[in-house]
Amino acid sequence: MVKRNVLATLYGIMGVGAIIGILAPLLQYWGNPANMGICVACFDRDIAGALGLHRADVVQYMRPEIIGFVLGSLIAALIFREYRPRAGSAPIVRFILGVFAMIGALVFLGCPWRALLRLAGGDLNAILGLLGLAFGIWIGTLFLKQGFTLGRSEKTYPSVGLILPLVMLGFLVLMFIFPQVEGEPKSGVLFYSIKGPGSQHAPLFVSLAVGLAVGILAQRSRFCTMGAIRDLLLFRQLHLFSGFVALAVVAFFTNLVLGQFNLGFANQPVAHTMHVWNFFGMALAGLAFALGGGCPGRQLFLSGEGDGDAAVFVIGMIVGAGIAHNFGLASSPGGIGPHGIAAVVVGFAVCLFIGFTMRKKIA
Amino acid sequence: MAATVDARGLSCPQPVILTMNKIKELGTGQIEVLVDTDTSKENVSRAAKSKGWTVADVTEEQTGYRVTLLKE
């Protein structure tokens, strides 16, 4: 008989959402940027900065939360015998979807996780982002209904699934070899921020511990913010959505307790008030996540359990962050970047091309 | 002869979509769904139950799981 997985039940997924809803605001309390306790897009972007893939000096930090997500998921998958090395489902397409998912997220300034945390912190601009996210995912469901598929993955060598976890382990080792030096923008090969969001972070071991814990819980519960909205639209199913709502509600109360709630549109931390582009930036990200089969967090957890295709999406996001900052596509609190609109238009064209040309009846 | 849905190697939510299509097509009977991950196994089982089908059996195979769905 097959084992029972408590975290994959309705109460399990709600519990995991609630735990993230407590831990993320706490990370802010412990040093992470405001309304950014956990933001997979922002943190991937900070990692790109730490590696020098872009040189926006305010967003450079090797975020241990991301490393913890992947390694925590790997640990859970190994303990519960769910590690399944697999790869080969249109990796180049997944890479490009990762690139444009990141570009869209950086026009809004956050991934779906941060959109919830921004709302829970009183940032009303997040409503536009969440509506855009739902719109993008809805377009994705239309393609899925028409048989959109990136094709089947194949079982592969165990080492293939270990590549991204090993890269993350390597990043962690780099942090130990080249630790942050107070007031210095660089330590060995790693870049660090002296000011801005990249300079704000919880202590390394706290971030890593929270990352590992969330990685373990999310692997077991299959927590996915894109799947939450997709399953609601596609199947009228509330399972993942209940975890999504639990995160937002619990984060709201945690923020109230910690004195981190500040209601309004204007002067919100690491956010802008250009409603149309908050909407369309996140719509692009939502479409790319839907076609790619998971939110940015879920792609990390899948990578940890051996999915080499999800790992390609993750690398696409990190490279996408480099492109977004180098080409002036990313927004800032001052508004969208000089080429942000063009990037969203191109991103939609690319995603629609992928959606329309990769449909087939797989019976 | 039971209908078979081979969803091995497919990303979310395609295993569920294929299963739901087969459920709609047959109405009642028996469906064997082949999946390769625990997530797909859980998702397919949950979706089938929501349509009034029962998960009669789940067996582990070399390439994943065989989920047997039933509706009288």
Q: Which of B38, B44, B46, B58 to mutate to test the interface with A (most CBs of A within 10 A)?
A: B38
> Looking at the complex, does the CB of residue A145 fall below 8 Å from at least one CB of chain B?
yes
Amino acid identity at A200: Q
**β-strands B54-61, A186-187: how paired?**
unpaired
Q: Which residue of A lies nearest to B60 if distances are taken between CA atoms?
A: A2
Q: Which of B11, B61, B62 to mutate to test the interface with A (most CBs of A within 10 A)?
A: B11
What pTM value is reported for the model? 0.97
Task: Please say whether the dihedral angle defined by the alpha carbons of residues B60, B65, B66 and B68, taken in this order, is positive or negative.
Answer: positive
**Which of A201, A159, A277, A158 minimizes the C-alpha distance to A27?**
A201
pLDDT at A226 over 60: yes
pLDDT category of residue A4 using cuts at 50, 70 and 90: confident
Architecture of domain B3-54: 2-Layer Sandwich (3.30)
Task: Specify the pLDDT at position A203.
Answer: 98
Q: Is A265 helix (H, G, I), strand (E, B) or coil?
A: coil
pLDDT (tens digit per residue) in B22-32: 999 999 999 99
**Which of A219, A265, A44, A225 minimizes the C-alpha distance to A136?**
A225
* Residue from the list B13, B50, B58 with its beta carbon closest to the beta carbon of A144: B13
**Which of A144, A152, A151 minimizes the C-alpha distance to A355?**
A144
A134: CB partners within 8 A, 6+ apart: A229, A233, A286
Take residue A106 and report the two structure tokens written for it.
């950086």
pLDDT category of residue A361 using cuts at 50, 70 and 90: low
Cα→Cα distances B30→A235, A326, B68, B72, Å: 21, 55, 7, 9
| Mean residue pLDDT across chain A | 97
- Cα separation of A321 and A102, whole Å? 6
Cβ separation of B41 and A2 shorter than 8 Å? Answer: yes
Task: Specify the pLDDT at position B1.
Answer: 64
pLDDT (tens digit per residue) in A120-145: 999 999 999 999 999 999 999 999 99
- 10 Å Cβ neighbour count for A276? 12
**Which of A14, A287, A251 minimizes the C-alpha distance to A126?**
A251
